Amino acid sequence: MQKIIILNKKTDWPFQTPDIEIVTALEYLTNPTWTNTRNVQAFNFCKNMGYQSNGYYVSLLAEARNHRVIPSVTTIQDIKTKSVVKVMSTELTELIQTSLKRIKSDQFILSVYFGRNLSKQYDKLARELYTLFKTPLLQAKFKYTDKWYLQSLSQLTLKDIPPQHHAFVQDNSEAYFRKERYYYQKKDKLIFDLAILHNPLEKSPPSNEKALQKFVSVAQEEGFYTEMITKDDYHRLAEFNALLIRETTAVNHHTYRFARRATADGLVVIDDPVSILRCANKVYLAEILNKAKVLSPKTLILQQAKTDDIIAQLGLPVVLKQPDSAFSLGVKKAETRDELEQFATAMLKESELIIAQEYMPTDFDWRIGVLNGEVLYACKYFMALGHWQIYNWAGKEEDIEGEFESVPVRQVPDKIKDAALKVTNLIGNGLYGVDIKVSGGRAFVIEVNDNPNLDAGVEDQILNDELYRRIILTLKSRVEQSMNIPHET
């Protein structure tokens, strides 16, 4: 991605930024070359960002040209609107109180240079403000009444930076612009930027280390510079064209916030926030399966632990599920009336609705991987040794997971593939893993996962690197489509 800095005059830029082109606002607005140039990230440092000023039009036309621009027109307007500043800053209330608790006066001004502040004690607050109001040079004014609150924001101009701060700003401008990835030895072939969100400390991640390495190598072959990011990189999302989430997702979790923010910033995201919302909650899935008449185990949505009613309709044993459980966590099998009442009562303390489902024992579950409305892979996941689920978190380390068998898609019975495609069409066009049981010759959909396992040596046994390539090519095609770039065949 080509990076440019836009100013009123080229001589306004006081810092060293090698290999980044400096462009005047007049050139950018009037030279037709910029109208037709694709894959540009523009940083707008014009002095005046007022409505219908040159600075305003730079960001407005950048968006019309499908250029990535910081700040966006929306951000420019948000900063000027006190009500928006107030609402958006509420999520920083606790951080503001913690960061400013030692200030003795009732007012405080914080300068944010490329998402940083000179003082370490205010640096986290500066980063979070940049995340909310993505502007390289920002000034925040705080006021104390009964507590600290953000009074107003304004964009700093280059002339507003005190001389004694220049060295700090110079260092941080280099870190901001000159990232190692832009000097990759094949940078002429790497036209897009991909972030892969992962958690290196996650106990059971959706992709093992070898699979993540395969994603990186395949993505670079297909024209992406690829960087592994963590939850600490939230403020950097605007640097990328696409986000691939390879960390267990949940709605009340940073993975959802990443997906939501990336989508709002115009990135292509797998999996997207709508898919996370829909797949992460088993109450929602139960409702859409029932409405669409998709065959699934008999299911009740519970608001109370009415033991007799549950047993009358589902029998014993019965399976109870927390709405947002994943990897078999938050799932219990009640063998007796007492266990049913105990488990249901405990779960209803965590969620006002839970799921009760008829117990359907099988030797294995099918996992059908679906991408963009097509079956991508198929696996059989066998139950953990001596257990009724494919994961047994209480077992010995070597017995936590059951065995697996990868199956060529062409060998999967049509009724299983059809069930997987029918239910995922109700969710979206992302990457999904559909769990299906076969009982009495019929295929029962158990659940849909928005962030299915893709482990090297398991799900990729049949396709090998082609599994990762199809996912990357889907991302690439969507990026090209979002930027109006003709797709190469």
What are 411's two structure tokens? 């060998």
pLDDT of 350 reads 83
Residue among 383, 380, 335, 379 at smallest CA distance from 362 = 383
Give pTM, 2 decimals: 0.67
* Residue 120 host element (H or E): helix 120-132
Domain termination site, one of 316, 341, 358: 358
The answer on 315 and 258 residing in a single domain is no
Whole-angstrom distance, CA of residue 460 vs CA of residue 467: 6
The reply to whether 88 falls in a domain is: yes
Whether residue 243 sits in one domain with residue 211: yes
Residue 34, pLDDT score:
92
Examine residue 271 and say whether the peptide bond preceding it is cis (omega within 30 degrees of 0).
Answer: yes
Paired sense of beta strands 137-144 and 107-113, if any? antiparallel
Q: Is 318 within 8 Å of 358 (Cβ atoms)?
A: yes
Task: Give the DSSP H/E element, type plus range, for residue 2.
Answer: strand 2-7
Domain count, the chain: 4
Residues 40 and 116 in one domain: no
Distance CA 471, CA 370 (A): 10
- The pLDDT score that the predictor gives to residue 488 is 59
Whether the CB-CB separation of 45 and 158 falls below 8 Å is answered with yes
What span, in angstroms and rounded, lies between the C-alpha atoms of 40 and 343? 55
Task: Report pLDDT for 406.
Answer: 95
461 falls within a domain = no
Verify that 155 and 187 share a domain, yes or no. no
What residues make up the domain containing 98? Answer: 82-162
Q: Give the CATH number of the domain where residue 214 resides.
A: 3.40.50.20
pLDDT value, residue 466 = 97
Asked whether residue 423 is assigned to any structural domain, the reply reads no
The pLDDT value given to residue 32 = 87
Query: Can you tell me which residue has the tokens 């490329």?
Result: 114
Confidence class of residue 178 from pLDDT cuts 50, 70 and 90?
low
Q: Is the pLDDT of residue 85 over 90?
A: no
Separation CA 35–CA 38 (nearest Å): 8
Q: b vs e for 206-225, b when ≥16 Cβ sit within 10 Å of the residue's Cβ?
A: bbbeebbebbbebbbebbbb
How far is 301 from 403, CA to CA, in rounded Å? 31
Mark whether 149 and 188 lie in a shared domain. no
Model pLDDT, residue 176 = 83
On whether both 86 and 153 belong to a single domain, the answer is: yes
Does the pLDDT of residue 232 top 50, yes or no? yes
Q: Report if residue 457 sits inside a domain.
A: no
If asked whether residues 212 and 261 sit together in one domain, one would say yes
According to DSSP, the residues that pair with 294 across neighbouring strands are none
pLDDT, tens digit (0-9, with 9 covering 90-100), for 300-342: 888 888 888 889 999 899 989 887 766 556 788 888 999 999 9
* pLDDT recorded at residue 327: 53
The CB density around residue 147, as the number of other CB atoms within 10 Å, is 11
pLDDT digits (tens, 9 = 90+) for 19-70: 789 999 999 998 989 988 888 889 999 998 887 788 888 998 988 888 889 9
| Positive or negative torsion for Cα 298, 303, 305, 309 | negative
Sheet holding 192-197, edge to edge: 224-229, 192-197, 242-245, 268-270
Q: What is the pLDDT of residues 182-199, one digit of tens each?
A: 333 334 456 889 999 999
Q: What is the mean pLDDT of the chain?
A: 88
Residue whose pair of structure tokens reads 């079956």 in the numeric block: 375
Cα angle 79-97-172, degrees, rounded to a multiple of 5: 55
Instruction: Please tell me the predicted confidence (pLDDT) of residue 394.
Output: 57
The H or E element containing residue 244 is: strand 242-245
Give every CB contact of residue 291 below 8 A, 6+ residues apart in sequence.
none
**Whole-number pLDDT of residue 188:** 46
- The reply to whether 194 and 269 lie within a common domain is yes
65 and 87 housed in the same domain: no
Q: Taking residues 120-130, report their average pLDDT.
A: 92
pLDDT at 489: 52
Contacts 24+ apart (CB under 8 A), 440-447: 442/295, 442/415, 443/295, 443/366, 443/413, 443/415, 443/416, 443/419, 444/295, 444/296, 444/297, 444/360, 445/289, 445/294, 445/295, 445/296, 445/419, 445/420, 446/296, 446/297, 446/365, 447/279, 447/282, 447/285
Domain boundary residue, one of 104, 131, 162: 162
Q: What whole-number distance in Å separates Cα of residue 210 and Cα of residue 344? A: 39
Same domain, 43 and 122: no
The reply to whether 176 falls in a domain is: no
Last residue of a domain, one of 12, 37, 70: 70
Confidence category of residue 78, pLDDT binned at 50, 70, 90: confident
What pLDDT was estimated at residue 387?
67
| 61 occurs within a structural domain | yes
Query: Is the residue at 392 inside a domain?
Result: no
Q: Is residue 244 part of a domain?
A: yes
- pLDDT above 80 for 289: yes
Residues 95 and 51 in one domain: no
Band (pLDDT 50/70/90 cuts) for residue 181 is very low
Looking at the fold, whether 16 and 59 belong to one and the same domain comes out as yes
Taking a C-beta distance cutoff of 8 angstroms, is the pair 428, 383 a contact? no
Give the dihedral sign, CA 37/42/44/45. negative
3-state SS, residue 357: strand
Question: Residue 323 is part of a domain; what is its CATH number?
Answer: 3.30.1490.20
